[in-house]
Amino acid sequence: MTKWLFIAVGSALGGVARYGLQGWVQRWSDDPFPVGTLVVNVAGCFLIGLLNAALTGPFLVREEYRLALTVGLLGGFTTFSAFGWETLALANDAQWARAILNVCLSIGFGLSAAWLGYRLAVRWFGV
C-alpha cells in the first residue's frame, strides 16, 4: 500500500511540475511551436535515465522511493520519459528490432489516435 501512496503523491507533484515548467517555457519562448512540451519530454527522458541508473546502482534506495520518483513523479511529469527509458532498455539488451518497433508503433499509433479522437470530436460535437 505504501508504494501506491508514494506513486500517487509523486504523480501529483509531477503533474504540477509539468504544468508549471511547460507553461513557463512556452511563455518565455513566445513561439507557437510546442517548445514547452518538448523541454518537459526531453527533461523527463534525461531524468528517468539518470535516476534509474543511479537508484539501482551506486545509490540503492528502497523500492517505494524509486517508484515514487520514476513511476510517480516522472510519470506525472511526462509519460514520454517511460517511453524513452523502455526503448533504451530494449536497445541496451540488443533488441534493436523491438526498440525500433516500439518507436514506430508508439509514434504512429499515438498520432493516429490523436487524429481519430479529433475527427470524432469534430463529427460528434461540431468542434
Closest residue by Cα to residue 66 from 85, 83, 53, 80: 53
Residue 93: its pLDDT value, please?
95
Dump pLDDT digits (tens) for 23-51. Answer: 999 999 998 888 998 899 999 989 988 99
User: Grid cell 535515465 — which residue?
Assistant: 49
Q: What percentage of residues in the chain have a pLDDT greater than 70?
A: 100
Of 88-97, 99-108, 115-124, least confident by mean pLDDT is: 115-124
What pLDDT, on the 0 to 100 scale, is given for residue 59? 84
Mean pLDDT of 8-18: 96
Among 6-20, 55-69, 94-108, which is the least confidently predicted range? Answer: 55-69
Q: Which residues have CB under 8 Å from 80's CB, separation 6+?
A: 40, 41, 44, 45
User: Which residues contact residue 74 at a Cβ distance below 8 angstroms, ignoring those fewer than 6 apart?
Assistant: 10, 14, 44, 47, 48, 51, 81, 82
> Which residue is listed with cell 460528434?
124
**What pLDDT does residue 108 have?**
92
Total residue count of the chain as it appears in this document:
127
Q: 1: pLDDT confidence band, cut at 50, 70 and 90?
A: confident
Domain boundaries, the chain: 2-78
pTM above 0.95, yes or no: no
Do 24 and 36 contact (CB within 8 A), yes or no?
yes
